[in-house]
Amino acid sequence: MVNVRQSDIAKQLNVSRVTVSKALRDHPDISQAMKKKIGLTARKMGYVPNLIARQLNSRRTFTIGIVIPDLENSFFSYIVDSMIDYATEHNYYVILTVSREKSNIEKQNIENLIGMRVDGLLVCLSQETNDKQVFKTVEKMKIPLVFFDRAFENMKFSRVVFNDKPGAVNALNHIILEGYTRIAHFAGYSKTNIGRERNEGFREALTKNKIQINNDWIIESGFELKDGYESFKKLNTLGNLPEIIFAVNDRVALGAYKAAKEAGLRIPEDIGIFGYGFNEITDFFDPQLTVINQDPRKMGLEAIKLLIDEIEKKTRTGHSKIYIEEEFIWRKSVKRKLKYTKIM
Amino acid sequence: MVNVRQSDIAKQLNVSRVTVSKALRDHPDISQAMKKKIGLTARKMGYVPNLIARQLNSRRTFTIGIVIPDLENSFFSYIVDSMIDYATEHNYYVILTVSREKSNIEKQNIENLIGMRVDGLLVCLSQETNDKQVFKTVEKMKIPLVFFDRAFENMKFSRVVFNDKPGAVNALNHIILEGYTRIAHFAGYSKTNIGRERNEGFREALTKNKIQINNDWIIESGFELKDGYESFKKLNTLGNLPEIIFAVNDRVALGAYKAAKEAGLRIPEDIGIFGYGFNEITDFFDPQLTVINQDPRKMGLEAIKLLIDEIEKKTRTGHSKIYIEEEFIWRKSVKRKLKYTKIM
DNA sequence: ATGAAAGCGCTAACAC
DNA sequence: GTGTTAGCGCTTTCAT
């Protein structure tokens, strides 16, 4: 038989469908003998419970919908991986959707996930998104949702984010404490939150430490490898190189690596480079990048933990705002001037 | 109202639920006026169709279950990304599960996906798996399934795989044609298919080209960075270095890079390195790795295309075996001895 | 063009 | 301990 239902088992055994249903769920109503018999024939007949039917009347799906902008970016794949880990452990399944940074796809995805009656949603907004409409619907339907990495403020959803500015300030403090004063910044687009906050952190740290800001050394461009590459070339034409570069992210740092090497400069001997990034990738760099580490797994775990707590009503819905700690990690791309024994 | 159903709309408008159902699906039975009216109030009331209910009686879920060993490995995240791309385009949704290379988790995942009545399954077997039982169930239930990358032979499921041995032979031929004769191989575990086939390809290519195989230069170990690192150290103690190393994969190649650099050797001037891998990662290596490129996106697309064709009965179930072409790409980590103009 | 009846597979509530 | 009834939200006949 191709598709065995409880009623088929019931007919086979001359009992009612309810008896079968209860027996299979190990309900105390049913005698051990009966359970054994039913379990056995269920197995023999190749019965597989229809979760769809079960979901329909329990109004619970044990399914979580995830919406991310992109899965090629390993930052997101690490996040999703950690979410699936936690979900599996807690008997939830995950429907994964990708918006490709398009707000219309994102909207479609969320609508479908609502339609599938997921128990909750984990969303990282696309860069385009500014329309809150779907999210209002989610609110109205009282579906638990947690934003991660990119979030709407002023909605009653929890969010898990990095706190960029203090992270930058802290890192710069370390660098300055080490004796560096000639510091450049390869900044991201100032239109973006990320670009702006990291830049502000940079300026604030220098100012507070009474270091003159050299505007020639703040080069604003994008977030990709080529941007770092070109920024370095531009910097190199100044005839006045800094000792060290603060890159807005790891791809930009890598672009800078490339241009520096092509210019015959050694890292870190001739020029130091550090920046935002995360471990798993920047470990592969040559030399390994000194980073302000943003751990995607921490973020993923925090977000799904929050969500499942909300789903299971262990916590009041919405409103939490959790900052994931950023850690400054000394590695090979910056020369230590002082001889600390402690590695931070 | 929090959770609006068709019957709520019907009551509101004093029509039957069937009318509403039909109108919402744009069924020809219903008059334009009625459709408009129903559509409007549906929107106004915040109606979201319950896909679970729809799935229950259509016995179609437009959902595909994916089972992979790991998502941290970017090879798999690229595969999944391409699958989701194609799925979205064809109005399918994807439930993603990760087995962590454990056959019991894999089994559990597949059973649950069957329970959720996915329309089809895409599976990359865990390294442990040798029990076919769940897959027999899938066969029996006539659920379309396509294996990718790692597959069971002798089942009536289609599979999409790389053909390692010819890929290795082809690459070695290029290398040998270029004038290399002193060639080492950092091999993977010979217990694994991958390790064995690549090793066989290596030996065959050398033999066919009448090059003496130096067994000291075939160093068998694992598939990780550290394995490449240690293999190189071992090689370097021989006092008899090859000109070039064929690494079983990109991580092993990177380990070899590291050890080579630490030993003061320049790549490619002092020693060449090439190996299996894929573009997106090996592009970041310094120098860029000359690779036998295995394109995960091609594999993902081919697999899901096959699956959806089977689901929609555009093709007969099972039995296709598709090989994804491997491409040899010259980059910076191997010195070209001949002066080709053409880049292969 | 609209609606009544029946059913998808399962389970909760209540009898017997 | 086992079974009956009813219903989850939707759709597919088949009448009207």
Shortest Cα distance, chain A CAs vs residue B62, angstroms: 11
Contacts of A61 in chain B (CB under 8 A): 52
What pLDDT sits at residue A344?
A: 46
Across B81-93, average pLDDT: 97
What 3 state SS string does A165-224 have?
HHHHHHHHHHHHHCCCCCEEEEECCCCCHHHHHHHHHHHHHHHHCCCCCCHHHEEECCCC
A267-288 tens-digit pLDDT: 999 999 999 998 777 888 889 9
Cβ distance B93 to A98 less than 8 Å, yes or no, reads no
pTM of the predicted structure, to 2 decimals: 0.92
Per-residue pLDDT, averaged over B192-201, amounts to 91
Contact state of B117 with A52 under an 8 Å Cβ cutoff: yes
Torsion of CA A231, A237, A240, A241, to 10 degrees: 40
- Reading the block at residue A316, the tokens are 């009041």
Q: What was the pLDDT predicted at B339?
A: 65
pLDDT at B344: 46
**Are A81 and B74 a contacting pair at CB < 8 A?**
no
Cβ distance of A55 and B50 shorter than 8 Å: no
Q: Is the pLDDT of residue B342 over 70?
A: no
Task: Please list every residue in chain A whose beta carbon sits closer than 8 Å to the beta carbon of residue B94.
Answer: 95-97
Q: How far apart are CA A194 and CA A124, in angstroms?
A: 14
Which residues in chain B are contacts of A48 at CB distance < 8 A? 111, 114-115, 137, 141
Q: CB of residue A17 closer than 7 A to nucleic acid strand D?
A: yes
Closest-CA residue of chain A to B225: A284
Question: Which has the closest alpha carbon to B125: B138, B136, B135, B117?
Answer: B135
Condensed to tens digits (0 to 9), the pLDDT of residues A188-237 reads 998 888 899 999 999 999 999 999 999 999 999 999 989 999 999 999 99
Residue B341 pLDDT class (50, 70, 90 cuts):
very low
Contact B84 A95 (CB under 8 A): no
Structural domains of chain A, ranges and CATH numbers in brackets = 6-49 (1.10.260.40), 61-161+296-325 (3.40.50.2300), 164-294 (3.40.50.2300)
pLDDT of the residue at A340: 54
Residue B343 reports pLDDT greater than 50: no
Distance CA A321, CA A152 (A): 11
Chain A CA closest to residue B98:
A84
pLDDT-based confidence at residue B282 (cuts at 50, 70, 90) = confident
> Closest by alpha carbon to B281, among B245, B246, B249?
B249
- Closest nucleotide over all strands to A31 (CA to C1'): D1
**Tens digit of each residue's pLDDT (9 = 90 or more) over B10-24:** 999 999 999 999 999
Average pLDDT, chain B: 93
Q: How far in angstroms lies nucleotide C4's C1' from the CA of residue B20?
A: 14
Give the pLDDT mean for B49-70: 95
Share of chain A above pLDDT 90, in %: 81
Locate tokens 């509101």: which residue? B12
Q: Please provide residue A294's backbone torsions phi and psi, each rounded to the nearest 5 degrees.
A: -110, 110
Task: Say how far apart CA B313 and CA B311 lie, in whole Å.
Answer: 5
Could you give the CA distance from residue A232 to residue A273 in angstroms, rounded to a whole number? 11
Dist. CA B183–CA B274, nearest whole Å: 11
* pLDDT tens for each residue of B217-268: 999 999 998 999 999 999 999 989 999 999 999 999 999 999 999 999 999 9
Can you tell me the distance from the alpha carbon of B177 to that of B337, in angstroms, rounded to the nearest whole number? 10
Could you report the per-residue pLDDT of B140-182, keeping only the tens digit for each?
Answer: 999 999 999 999 988 999 999 999 999 999 999 999 999 999 9
Q: What is the pLDDT of residue B194?
A: 87
Give me the average pLDDT of each 10-residue run along chain A (344 residues): 88 90 90 90 92 93 97 94 97 97 96 96 94 94 95 93 93 95 95 90 97 95 93 94 96 94 94 91 87 96 97 81 94 85 47
d(CA A246, CA A291): 10
Question: Which of the nucleotides in strand D have any atom less than 7 Å away from a protein CB atom?
Answer: 1-5, 7-13
Q: Is there contact between A12 and strand C, defined as CB under 7 Å from any strand atom?
A: no
